[in-house]
C-alpha cells in the first residue's frame, strides 16, 4: 500500500462575503500557542510571523510534504522524515513560507536534537514561525484541542455576527436610516465611522469628533489605503456598498488600518444593510419623482383646476403662490430630442441640484425630465436679482460637473407671480438655455431678459422661414465653409465696430487696405451694408439667425 502523504484536519473559515455569509477567519498563531495544550511550546524563530492565521492543521509524515500542504496550515512534525537530511531544512522552510503556511511545530530530541542555525536564520528572515512542541503532548491531542478551539471561536463569531446582522436589519425594519446604522456601528467597533456615497458625499457619520476635526465634513475622498478629509489624511478600512452590480458607496471605519476579523464582518454586515436602505430609498424616490414630474407637466399645460394643483404641490412641500422664477438645466451632451415623460436617474442630476436648491429655498420644486432638470423656486429679490440668480445657477452647473463629470447649460426666466404663468416662465427658461447653449457654447448661463434680438427671433415658430431669410440676405455666406465663416466673422466685427474700418482692422489684425478689399467683396454679396441702414439691419438679423442654428424643437415641449 502506498504511504499516506499527510494527515490533514481542517475547518473552513474563509466563507465568501455575500449577503447571507459572513467572513469568519481562523485564529492567529499567537493565540493558538496560548492554548493549555501548548503551554510548554517555545518559539525558536520567526517571532514576527505569529500574527499568521491558523485555519487547519497538518501532520508531516513524508519528506516531500510541499505538494500536500495548503495556505494557513500549522504543520506538525517529529522531524522523522528529515532525520537523515537536515541540510534540506532551510529550503523546506522557504518552500513552506512561499506556500502560505502559518508555521511549523517540531518535536525535538527523538529524531533531531536541534535545528541548524541556518534554518533559524531563514525562518527569522522570512518571519516564518518555528515552534518547539512539548515532548509530553501527542499530535492527536494538539489536533483535537486546537481544532476545537477554532470551531468554538468560529461558532462564537458566527453567533456574534448574526446578532449584529439582525440588529442592523431591525434598524431598516423600524424605518431608521443610515444615521442610526452608522451610530450603532461606531459604538460596536469603538472607532469613528462614515457611510459615504460614490461621489464622496458623507451620507451618515458617527464619532467623528474623536478625530479632532474642526467641522463635520460634507465630503470624504478615498486615497490609497485611507481617506482624505480636507487637508487631513487618515488610515481607514472601507467596504463597498453593493446592490447587484451597482455600487452605492462605502462604509468606512476611520483612523484604523486594520480590523479584527469579527469587526471586519460587522463592517461588511453594515454595508449589506446600507445597500438595502439605499436601494429602498432610491425606489421610493423614483416613485415620488414620477409623481413630481407629472405635477410639473400639468403646470406646463392649461390649468383646469388650480386648487388641485396647489393641493398636490403642498403634498410635496412646494409653495407655488409667491414670486417665482423657473430654471432649466440640461446636459450639454444629452440625446436629442428629449422625451418629456421620460424620468431617469442616470446620470443622477437631480440629487445634486435638489440639495443646493432646497438649501436656499426648502419649498422649491425640483424635477427631472430625462437629461433636463426643471427648478421652480423663489425669485431673487436682491437689488440685482438677475446677477444673483446667474451666480446661483453657475454654482449648480459647477457642482453638477464636479459630481457627475458632465457639463450642463442653464436658462433663467423672468419672475412670475401667478400659478398660471409658470408655464410661460418655463418656456422662457427653456428658450434662454437653448439659445445660450448655441450662441455661447457649453456650460452657458443665459437669462431670458438678456437675449436681446435673439429673444424676438426665438418667438418665430417657423424655423424654415428664419433659415430662408438668412439665406436670402447672406447668400453664399450662409454656407458651412471655411471661407464663408471667415467672411461672416469680418462682417460681424464690422457691425460691432459701428462701421469704423480702422477699429475693425485693429480687432481683426488686418491691414487697413486688406479690410477695404474685404468690405468691397462683402458689399457685392449682401449689398451696401456700410451705407444703407436697412441692409445693415437685415445683415445683422441674418447673422443672429445663423448663430442660432441648432435652436430648434428642443426649446419647445
pLDDT on residue 9: 34
The string of DSSP codes covering 255-284 is: S-S---HHHHHHHHHHHHHHHHHHHHHHHH
**Does residue 225 have a pLDDT over 70?**
no
216: confidence class by pLDDT, cuts 50, 70, 90: low
Q: 218, 250 in Cβ contact below 8 A? A: no
C-alpha to C-alpha distance for 87 and 476, rounded to whole angstroms:
94
Instruction: Tell me the average pLDDT across 141-149.
Output: 80
Most confident of the following: 78-87, 406-415, 525-534: 406-415
pLDDT on residue 250: 85
**Does residue 556 have a pLDDT over 80?**
no
Instruction: Tell me the average pLDDT across 294-316.
Output: 89
3-state secondary structure at position 358: helix
Enter the pTM of the model. 0.50
pLDDT on residue 382: 65
Q: How far apart are the first and last CA of the chain?
A: 86
Angle between helices 512-526 and 501-508 (to 10 degrees): 110
**Does residue 332 have a pLDDT over 70?**
yes
pLDDT on residue 300: 85
214-218, 300-304, 441-445, 521-525: segment of lowest average pLDDT: 214-218
Q: 283: how many CB neighbours lie within 10 A of its CB? A: 10
63: confidence class by pLDDT, cuts 50, 70, 90: confident
pLDDT in tens, 352-407: 788 889 889 999 999 888 778 999 999 987 655 788 888 899 998 888 887 777 88
In percent, the amount of the chain with pLDDT more than 70 equals 80
> What backbone torsions phi and psi does residue 178 show, to the nearest 5 degrees?
-65, -30
Kindly tell me the burial class for residue 81, based on how many C-beta atoms sit within 10 Å of its own C-beta (0-12, 13-18, 19 or more): middle
- Of 147, 4, 139, 32, the C-alpha closest to 76 is 139
All three cell numbers of 479, joined, read: 454656407
Q: 172, 31 in Cβ contact below 8 A? A: no
pLDDT on residue 408: 86
C-alpha to C-alpha distance for 337 and 444, rounded to whole angstroms:
19
pLDDT on residue 325: 93
**Does residue 195 have a pLDDT over 60?**
yes
Distances (CA, A) of 416 to 21, 262, 335, 395, 423: 58, 60, 30, 23, 10
Q: In what order do the strands lie in the sheet with 130-132?
A: 6-10, 56-60, 73-77, 103-106, 130-132, 42-45
**Does residue 271 have a pLDDT over 60?**
yes
Of 501 and 466, the structure prediction assigns the larger pLDDT to 501
pLDDT on residue 557: 35
- Please count the residues of the chain: 557
544: confidence class by pLDDT, cuts 50, 70, 90: confident
C-alpha to C-alpha distance for 522 and 535, rounded to whole angstroms:
12
Of 79 and 549, the structure prediction assigns the larger pLDDT to 79
Of 202 and 261, the structure prediction assigns the larger pLDDT to 202
| β-pair partners for 416 | 324
pLDDT in tens, 469-482: 778 888 888 888 88
The CATH superfamily holding the domain 6-150 is HprK N-terminal domain-like (3.40.1390.20)
pLDDT in tens, 424-470: 899 888 888 877 876 777 888 888 887 766 666 666 666 777 778 77
pLDDT on residue 476: 85
C-alpha to C-alpha distance for 117 and 123, rounded to whole angstroms:
10
Average pLDDT of the chain to the nearest whole number: 78
E strand or H helix at 159: helix 139-173
Q: What CATH class does 176-280 carry?
A: alpha beta
Collect all residues with Cβ–Cβ distance below 8 Å to 168 and sequence separation of at least 6: 181, 184, 185, 269, 270, 272, 273
CATH, domain 300-458, list 3.40.50.620, 1.10.150.110, 3.40.1390.10, 3.30.70.270: 3.30.70.270
**Does residue 343 have a pLDDT over 50?**
no
- Of 228, 425, 402, 229, the C-alpha closest to 325 is 425
**Does residue 163 have a pLDDT over 80?**
no
pLDDT on residue 243: 77
pLDDT in tens, 513-522: 888 888 888 8
pLDDT in tens, 15-30: 333 333 333 356 788 8
All three cell numbers of 390, joined, read: 446667474
pLDDT on residue 8: 35
Q: Which residue has the cell 409658470?
A: 422
> What backbone torsions phi and psi does residue 327 show, to the nearest 5 degrees?
-120, 140
Instruction: Tell me the average pLDDT across 271-289.
Output: 79
> What backbone torsions phi and psi does residue 167 show, to the nearest 5 degrees?
-65, -40
Q: What CATH class does 463-555 carry?
A: mainly alpha
pLDDT on residue 215: 56
Instruction: Tell me the average pLDDT across 318-327.
Output: 93
Taking the domains of the chain in order of start, what are their residue ranges?
6-150, 176-280, 300-458, 463-555
100-114, 202-216, 542-556: segment of lowest average pLDDT: 542-556
Of 415 and 62, the structure prediction assigns the larger pLDDT to 415
pLDDT on residue 213: 63
Amino acid at each position: 500500500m502506498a504511504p499516506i502523504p499527510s494527515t490533514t484536519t481542517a475547518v473552513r473559515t474563509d466563507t465568501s462575503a455575500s449577503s447571507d455569509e459572513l467572513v469568519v477567519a481562523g485564529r492567529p498563531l499567537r493565540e493558538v500557542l496560548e492554548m493549555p495544550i501548548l503551554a510548554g511550546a517555545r518559539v525558536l524563530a520567526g517571532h514576527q510571523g505569529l500574527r499568521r492565521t491558523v485555519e487547519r492543521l497538518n501532520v508531516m509524515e513524508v519528506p516531500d510534504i510541499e505538494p500536500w500542504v495548503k495556505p494557513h496550515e500549522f504543520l506538525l512534525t517529529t522531524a522523522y522524515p528529515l532525520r537523515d537530511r537536515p541540510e534540506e531544512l532551510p529550503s523546506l522552510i522557504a518552500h513552506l513560507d512561499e506556500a502560505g503556511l502559518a508555521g511549523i511545530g517540531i518535536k525535538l530530541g527523538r529524531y533531531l536534537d536541534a535545528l541548524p542555525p541556518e534554518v533559524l536564520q531563514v525562518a527569522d528572515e522570512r518571519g516564518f514561525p518555528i515552534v518547539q512542541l512539548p515532548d509530553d503532548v501527542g499530535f492527536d491531542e494538539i489536533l483535537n484541542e486546537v481544532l476545537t478551539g477554532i470551531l468554538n471561536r468560529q461558532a462564537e463569531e458566527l453567533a456574534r455576527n448574526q446578532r449584529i446582522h439582525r440588529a442592523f436589519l431591525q434598524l431598516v425594519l423600524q424605518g431608521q436610516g443610515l444615521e442610526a446604522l452608522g451610530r450603532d456601528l461606531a459604538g460596536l467597533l469603538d472607532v469613528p465611522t462614515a457611510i459615504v456615497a460614490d461621489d464622496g458625499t458623507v451620507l451618515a457619520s458617527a464619532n467623528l469628533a474623536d478625530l479632532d476635526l474642526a467641522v463635520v465634513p460634507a465630503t470624504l475622498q478615498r486615497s490609497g489605503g485611507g481617506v482624505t478629509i480636507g487637508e487631513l489624511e487618515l488610515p481607514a478600512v472601507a467596504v463597498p456598498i453593493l446592490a447587484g452590480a451597482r455600487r452605492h458607496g462605502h462604509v468606512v471605519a476611520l483612523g484604523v488600518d486594520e480590523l479584527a476579523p469579527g469587526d471586519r464582518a460587522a463592517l461588511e454586515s453594515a454595508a449589506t444593510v446600507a445597500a438595502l436602505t439605499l436601494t429602498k430609498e432610491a425606489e421610493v424616490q423614483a416613485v415620488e419623482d414620477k409623481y413630481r414630474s407629472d405635477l410639473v407637466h400639468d403646470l406646463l399645460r392649461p390649468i383646469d383646476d388650480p386648487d388641485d394643483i396647489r393641493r398636490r404641490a403642498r403634498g410635496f412641500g412646494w409653495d407655488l403662490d409667491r414670486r417665482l422664477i423657473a430654471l432649466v438645466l440640461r446636459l450639454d451632451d444629452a440625446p436629442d430630442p428629449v422625451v418629456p415623460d421620460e424620468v431617469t436617474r442616470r446620470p443622477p442630476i437631480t440629487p445634486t441640484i435638489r440639495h443646493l436648491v432646497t438649501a436656499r429655498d426648502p419649498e422649491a420644486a425640483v424635477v427631472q425630465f430625462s437629461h433636463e432638470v426643471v427648478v421652480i423656486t423663489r425669485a431673487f429679490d436682491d437689488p440685482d436679482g438677475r446677477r444673483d440668480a446667474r451666480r446661483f445657477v453657475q454654482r449648480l452647473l459647477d457642482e453638477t460637473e464636479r459630481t457627475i463629470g458632465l457639463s450642463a447649460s442653464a436658462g433663467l426666466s423672468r419672475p412670475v407671480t401667478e400659478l398660471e404663468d409658470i408655464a410661460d416662465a418655463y418656456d422662457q427658461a427653456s428658450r434662454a438655455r437653448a439659445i445660450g447653449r448655441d450662441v455661447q457654447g457649453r456650460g452657458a448661463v443665459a437669462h431670458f431678459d438678456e437675449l436681446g434680438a435673439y429673444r424676438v427671433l426665438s418667438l418665430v415658430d417657423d424655423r424654415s422661414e428664419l433659415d430662408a431669410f438668412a439665406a436670402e440676405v447672406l447668400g453664399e455666406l450662409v454656407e458651412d465653409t471655411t471661407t464663408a465663416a471667415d467672411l461672416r466673422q469680418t462682417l460681424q466685427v464690422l457691425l460691432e465696430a459701428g462701421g469704423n474700418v480702422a477699429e475693425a482692422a485693429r480687432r481683426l489684425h488686418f491691414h487697413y487696405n486688406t479690410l477695404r478689399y474685404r468690405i468691397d467683396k462683402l458689399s457685392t454679396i449682401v449689398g451696401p451694408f456700410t451705407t444703407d441702414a436697412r441692409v445693415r439691419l437685415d445683415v445683422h438679423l441674418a447673422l443672429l439667425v445663423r448663430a442660432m442654428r441648432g435652436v430648434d424643437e428642443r426649446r419647445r415641449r
